[in-house]
Amino acid sequence: RFSISNTIGNIFGLLTDFLTGGALPADALSLTSISAPYSIAIRNTNSDASNKQTECDETYYDVFNDHSSISETHKCGYGVGIGFLQFDQVDSQGQAEVIDMGYIDVGFHPEYGSNVLPEEVDLVLRNDNIGDNTFDTVELYSDVGADLWLHYFEDRSNTLEGGTFGNITDSRLWIRGIPSGTLPQEEINAIFTMIGEAPGSSNLPGDIPDRLSFILAIKNFSGDATANQNDLTLPVNPAAPPATLIMVAGTERIKSLSYNSTLMRGGYATDVSSLSIHVENLPEVLILKGSFQLSSTGLSRVNFNDPDLNTISQLLDNALLTLVEVVLDLGSILNTLPDLIVGTAGSSGGELEVLCLSQVRQTWNDGSVRSPSSLGVISMAIGSSDHPWLTDSDHILLSQDTEIEQVDGRDGPVGPLVPVAMSLRISNISRVFQSYDPVTSIRSLELGGQQSGALLVGHIRHSGTDFSDVTAQSAMISNRPGLLSVVQDPEKLVYTASEPIGTITYGGEQGAQRNAIRLEGLPSSFQLNLGDSVGFQADTPITSIMVQMTNATTPLTMDGDHFRFWVDADQAQASLSAKISNVQSVQRYSPIDPNSTGPEGSARYSLQRQVSAPFSISM
């Protein structure tokens, strides 16, 4: 609570009188809109050559040991911040509750090993909320490379939104090695053309920049009311676009990006979701496009005809709020991205593609040609409670916490924001494509990049932080091919890759029961038949298939190709072990007539091997 009963309430009125000479009543004008772009220009000039503003004293600032300090206490840097408070009506005691607040804090610091700060920084926030309301951009120019810190916070937990209270959002971003200098004008024009705002566009607020080091652009093509320029040479043709495009582009690769965000639904600490993303060695251009729909927040913090404010007050107050709104809406969009992306693989279907490129325009005037690029490492963790998180190996791990099937929300028990947590780390990728058609049930996955090491894919079901009794299953792929494609329909799964896979090891555990399957020497292409006829077939054989299923204290197995089944009835323990090598095809055919007591009622099996070999059986 803030007491405002003794504050000077007419300070903006004094400013109005000063600007108008007192001749124009404050209510004679009506403010109808405040529109982007918003430009923040920072000039850190070296006016004194003996005490340079752009260089921190190395006797005070250690360019190595002090580099990783938090922004607020960093010894070398400068920043800008902007925020707002919205109060409820003043009560009889002259008190007013804070019902909405938010702020943005941006800091600039030297890169690792350097003591140099930018002398010129131009930050532009742009959207077309007054026009088609289809895009948001963050545009940056810096004369030298730097590290950028951004922290934004908003508390709307005391504000009703559609019958429920708003949320608390706390997001923090570090970009290490922000690009510097400027892209050529032809590349800048191509970037804006690709988001549907070609030079001369009547929907673009302001002008296309004449210098640009870095841009983040978010575009919702489904809202475009006018036709876009047809350009087949761009990575995304704006005349035949996807529903959504998200792009990061700059003059050079970015060393790393770390984004951490927490959302409390209704302001409740027990009803929360957390998102952490870390990316290393970002390419010059990173594009995410797909059929998922981005929507605006639907929130409006701006009141252009507030009877409690005079004209100049409205101008300053709403200009500030509109600027804040651009950044907060960007944060809201980014926080909802993981759910939207995962949704493209769900029952509603859709497409998603990630591209890493060297530039947007096909060819620059200096002869530079667009080519595929790559991303070093991307890792992500999202969840509504503590969950397993691997940091040093490539993996996709889903985890389900049985203790949060319901959480204590502001309006009572409610399902968690993130029912199934995810931890992900993938390295050396240049392209990802996945799609699912719910009508045909065809699912496709394509992954391109450099050959990489092991990849773990797993699922774990646990109770809180107690991992002593879990249900878990996982598959470990020994080596990830440079290019791979998986296409699945109701009848079959077709796998194609640029190189063979050494081994795939599957393991599952629930209580005392443990199951394992190990496939060795997988060919670069094969087909799994699904449905009534189940099987495996390939042009070249798989080296071996091994299976173990047991609840025994000491599982039993054999050497060579075999089938062994052992039971200890007294201890209620059993163990099954099997191995078969040089398998080119194995099929199971369903019974012709399941109700028949003759041969037609039995399933049939077919095995094709490249060469014969001894096979041992022990039961």
Tell me the sheet residues that pair with 277: 259, 380
User: Which tokens sit at 308?
Assistant: 């409690």
Residue identified by tokens 């840097």 is 77
Burial code (b: 16+ CB inside 10 Å, e: under 16) for 355-390 equals: bbbebbbeebeeeeebeebbbbebbbbbbbbebbbb
For the record, the structure tokens of 367 come out as 């002869």
**pLDDT score for 331:** 54
Condensed to tens digits (0 to 9), the pLDDT of residues 81-98 reads: 888 788 888 888 888 888
Q: Which long-range contacts (CB under 8 A, 24 or more apart) does 337-343 make?
A: 337/246, 338/275, 338/380, 338/382, 338/422, 339/418, 340/292, 340/293, 340/294, 341/290, 341/292, 342/422, 343/292
449-490 tens-digit pLDDT: 998 888 888 888 888 887 777 777 788 889 989 998 988 888
pTM, two decimals, is 0.78
Looking at residue 208, its pLDDT comes to 94
Residue 166 has a pLDDT of: 83
Pairing of strands 501-510, 616-618: unpaired
Q: What integer pLDDT is reported at residue 75 of this predicted model? A: 96
Q: Please give the pLDDT value at position 341.
A: 54
CA 300 from chain centre, in angstroms, equals: 26
Residue whose entry in the numeric block shows the structure tokens 């009703």:
160
Centre a 10 Å sphere on the Cβ of residue 140 and count the other Cβ atoms it contains: 23
- pLDDT recorded at residue 306: 43
The beta strand positions in 450-532, using DSSP E, are: 455-463, 466-477, 483-488, 492-497, 501-510, 513-522, 525-529
**Residues in the chain where the model's pLDDT stays below 50:** 1-35, 296-321, 345-346
pLDDT per position as a tens digit, 131-150: 677 888 889 999 999 999 99
| Distance set, CA 548 to CA 441, 587, 619 (Å) | 32, 20, 14
**387 token code pair:** 């969950």
| pLDDT on residue 18 | 37
**Phi, psi angle pair for 335, to nearest 5°:** -70, -25
Could you give the angle at which helices 11-20 and 311-343 cross, rounded to 10 degrees? 120
What's residue 169's pLDDT?
Answer: 85
Extended strands (E) in 232-374: 244-250, 254-264, 272-282, 285-290, 350-357
Pair type for strands 604-609 and 573-589: antiparallel
Quick one: pLDDT at residue 347? 52
Q: Scanning the structure block, which residue is given the tokens 């500030």?
A: 320
- Alpha-carbon gap, residue 381 to 399, rounded angstroms: 11
User: Which token pair is 34?
Assistant: 């405040």
